[in-house]
Amino acid sequence: MPDHRRNGSVRHPGGSEAVTLGRLRGEPDRSWRHVVAERSLVLIKPDAVRRGLVGEIIGRLERKGLAIDAMRLRTMDVALADQHYAEHVERDFYPPLRDFMTSGDLVALVVSGDEAIAVIRNLIGSTDGRKAAPGSIRGDFSLSNRENLVHASDSVDSAKREISLWFPELAE
């Protein structure tokens, strides 16, 4: 889907606009960048929201040089959880994961940048916070395998699928 920028917003066929964080801050349009940006879905999970870590996590993404293209504070209902985690629905660990992910507010982000998927996954660290490297988000703030603060897409295909679930207006 073509990305037509005007005044810092993203215009999509059908006329819908997604407000970007840069536009909210009055920052200039960054469409001059020549690097083809990769996009990822990032979910700041309910445990991070409850603990007041949203700003810390977003700050780390931005300080790395990644762009926040879209952001929403919302909840995940059971139907969305089942779609988002479709490959895990039949696994034993899924019911407690679903209960956790539907337990409160979360922040959904579309994040972009050069090799964004690999960069973000490195920033957040290993799934098990007890084993994640110090300096990573999970290594610094998590002691759990399930309540591990952040989800990030693991591939370009996953990112496209996940973004279409959470931000259908931005789907390619």
In the set 4, 34, 84, 151, the catalytic residue is: 151
Burial (CB count within 10 angstroms: exposed 0-12, middle 13-18, buried 19+), residue 151: buried
pLDDT tops 80 at residue 3: no
pTM: 0.80
| Residue 72 marked in a binding site | no
| % of the chain beyond a pLDDT of 90 | 76
Return the domain boundaries, the chain.
33-170
pLDDT, tens digit, for every residue of 132-171?
Answer: 999 999 999 999 998 999 999 999 999 999 999 999 999 8
CATH number of 33-170: 3.30.70.141
Helices (H) then strands (E): counts for the chain? 8, 7
| Residue 64 marked in a binding site | no
| Residue 20 marked in a binding site | no
Using DSSP's 3-state secondary structure scheme, residue 121 falls into helix
CB 116 within 8 Å of CB 39: yes
Q: What is the C-alpha separation between 56 and 58, in angstroms, rounded?
A: 6
- Is 4 noted as a catalytic residue in this protein? no
| Residue 127 marked in a binding site | yes
pLDDT, tens digit, for every residue of 6-41?
Answer: 334 443 333 334 445 555 555 555 554 555 689 999
